[in-house]
Each structure stands twice: as C-alpha cells, then as structure tokens.
Amino acid sequence: MTTTTPTATAVPKTTAPETTPRRARRRARRSTPLTIAMLAALAYFLLPLFWLLIASTKSTQDLFNSFGLWFSHAPQLLTNIRETLTQDDGVFVHWLLNTVLYAVVSAVGAALLAAAGGYGFAKFRFRGDRLAFNLVLGAVMVPTTALAIPTYLLFAKAGLVNTPWAIILPSLVNPFGLYLMRIYAADAVPDSLLEAARIDGAGEARIFFRIALRLLGPGLVTVLLFTLVATWNNYFLPLIMLNDPDLYPITVGLASWAAQAQNGGAGASSDMLALVVTGSLLSIVPLVVAFLMLQRYWQSGLAAGGVKQ
C-alpha cells in the first residue's frame, strides 16, 4: 500500500502518536437532536446484546413462552450458567480454556513478531528490504479463508491437523500488524535515541528489548488486541482443523451445540437452546472487558495505522 496509495497530505508530522497534543474542543454547544439520533443508533447496536442478556435468564420453555425482550417470571441466570459449565462433564470450560490458550499465545506471538519485524523494516536498511516489505503488504489482501484450505492440506501432511498448533501457527503471521508496527516504529522510536544507545555501547537486541519495545507500547497493544479478537472469534480455521471436541474453541463448540439444539426440533424439547444462549453470553464477556480496559492504548495505536499509508 505504501507504493500504491497516496500519503495523507493533511497528516501532521507527529513524533509519537501517544504524545500528539489533544486539540482543545469547543465544549460549549451540545446538540440534543444529534444526541437523540445517535442514541437511537446505539439502541440498534445494543438490542441483540440486551436480548442475549435477557434470554440467558430463561429456561428453554420460557424462551418460547415469554416475550423475548423482557424477563420471564422465573429468572434463572445462575442455574443456566451452572448448567452450561457442567454440561457434558464441563466441556464448555474446556472450550473456554482452549480459546484463552489459542488467543493469548497467538496474540502475544503475533504482536512480538510484528513489532520486531516492523522495527527492523523501519529502522534498518538492508538488501531486499523493499521487496520483502511489499511482499508482506500485498499479502494483506490475500484472504485468510482462501488460505485456510491449502493450509489444512499442508498441515495434514505435516501431521499438525487436530493439534493446537493448527490454530496458533497461522494466527502468528499478521501482515497488517507488521505494516502497523512499521509505521508506528518509524514515528515512535527516534533515531537519535538509538544512536545515543549505540554510542553507549548497547547491542542491537538490548536496544530493541530495553528501549524500543517500550516506545512501541500502544502499537503493540493494538496488534495484540486485534489478533486476540481475531483468534478468539475465529471459526473457519478451527472448524476445518479440529475434529476432537476437547480441542474446540468456544466458537466451534457453540456452533456444534446450536446444531444439536436445532436438530432437537423447533419445539421446547430442544434443551440445548438455553445452554447455547448462556454460553454465547459467557463467550462475549472477556473480550468486551479487555477492550474497555485497554481502550486508551488501542485507539491511539489505530490512529497511526488509519491515517498514514
């Protein structure tokens, strides 16, 4: 994209994105009509989540017999949660732990690989650097699902199918993450600081781990969080790679439960339904919390990638 897209002319030459001066905003006038319109939009985005929260408090019978957007007479959220967690000898807990394992290892690995690579491309010139970077950049456009089937076939030959590696390895390579980290490193790590550290006799590895990595913080969090979400929410890859339910992440597990509930017929006989609904709720909570807690970091990291190309 560097070579094919225009650079933003209106973009300021900032030093580090996190030190960009927040411009003072005129706080005087607030628009009530605009606020109401946006609250209406907000209602649309929160409606399904509100429904999910309500539905998680219902027994399967109540799901069918009470109004969807309000509580039934006998709310039983805790019962539902207990049943979800204990169904099939606690397989849901297994799925949850698998998801955490896959997502955390992938996210940390992808962020570190992208940070080292982005830093290498931003701060060093070497033979073939342009070519290599453009190759990676072009790969941003290659859809992961088009890769998934050939990757499956390769992994099947290597005996990696139906192991955690089948999920983790493909998630480690994040071309967009590398691109983001290169832009971020170019801005956030001043050359003068690197020179000073070199004059003091620090080795390159030491400089990267002790100095650069800290300055790369917000960019690193952005790549980390977005890889975390991508892996946490991934469905296609684990669907094709795994066939042992004990290795499933939540997404594939929930989909298999949903299929069972569906096969149970549309009537109230499908007891799995309440579990699917409650499991869905449980699967959302960790990511939403992560996003809320880390928002300051990932938003400034995104600002760098969204503006400069």
Question: What is d(CA 108, CA 218) in angstroms, rounded to the nearest whole number?
Answer: 14
Residue 49, C-beta contacts closer than 8 angstroms, at least 6 positions apart = 284
Q: For other proteins, which residue of 86, 259, 269, 293 counts as binding (CB under 8 A)? A: 259
Our finding on whether 291 is near other proteins (CB under 8 A) is: yes
Task: Provide CB contacts within 8 A for 66, sequence distance 6+.
Answer: 58, 72, 73
Query: To the nearest whole angstrom, how small is the minimum distance from the Cβ of residue 32 to other proteins?
Result: 8
Q: In the complex, what is the shortest distance from the CB of residue 202 to other proteins, in angstroms, rounded to a whole number?
A: 11
- Give the contacts of 145 (CB within 8 A, at least 6 positions apart): 236
Interface pick for other proteins out of 15, 46, 97, 193 (rule CB under 8 A): 46
What is the DSSP-derived secondary structure letter of residue 75? Answer: -
Contact 77, 56 (CB under 8 A): yes
102 conformational bin, left if phi > 0, alpha if psi -120 to 50, beta if neither: alpha
Distance between CA atoms of residues 146 and 167, nearest Å: 15
Q: What is the footprint of other proteins within residues 184-243 (CB under 8 A)?
A: 198, 203-205, 208, 229, 232-233, 235-236, 240
Amino acid at 251: T
Tokens of 13: 């030459």
Q: Which is nearer to other proteins, 44 or 78 (CB)?
A: 44
Q: Least CB distance from residue 134 to other proteins, whole Å?
A: 12
Residue 6 interacts with other proteins (CB under 8 A): yes or no = yes
| 304 closest CA partner among 21, 23, 22, 11 | 11
Distance between CA atoms of 156 and 289, rounded to whole angstroms?
36
- Closest of 308, 219, 218 to residue 11, by C-alpha: 308
- Asked if residue 293 binds other proteins (CB under 8 A), the reply is no
Residue 131 binding other proteins, by CB under 8 A: no
Report the site for other proteins in 71-110 (rule: CB under 8 A). Answer: none
Q: Which stretch binds other proteins (CB under 8 A): 72-80, 88-96, 213-221, 278-286?
A: 278-286
- Binding-site size for other proteins (CB under 8 A) equals 121
Tokens of 11: 């973009």
Stretch that binds other proteins, among 2-10, 72-80, 83-91, 213-221 (CB under 8 A): 2-10
Nearest residue (CB) to other proteins, 88 versus 288? 288
Window of 73-81, 89-97, 213-221, 293-301 that interacts with other proteins by CB under 8 A: 293-301
Please work out, in degrees rounded to the nearest 5, the angle formed at the alpha carbon of residue 290 by the alpha carbons of 289 and 291: 90
Q: Which of 1, 74, 193, 293 binds other proteins (CB under 8 A)?
A: 1
For other proteins, give the closer residue by CB, 86 or 262.
Answer: 262
CB of 187 to other proteins, least distance (A): 11
Binding test (CB under 8 A) with other proteins, winner from 56, 106, 251, 278: 251
Of these, 73, 78, 89, 126, which contacts other proteins (CB under 8 A)? 126
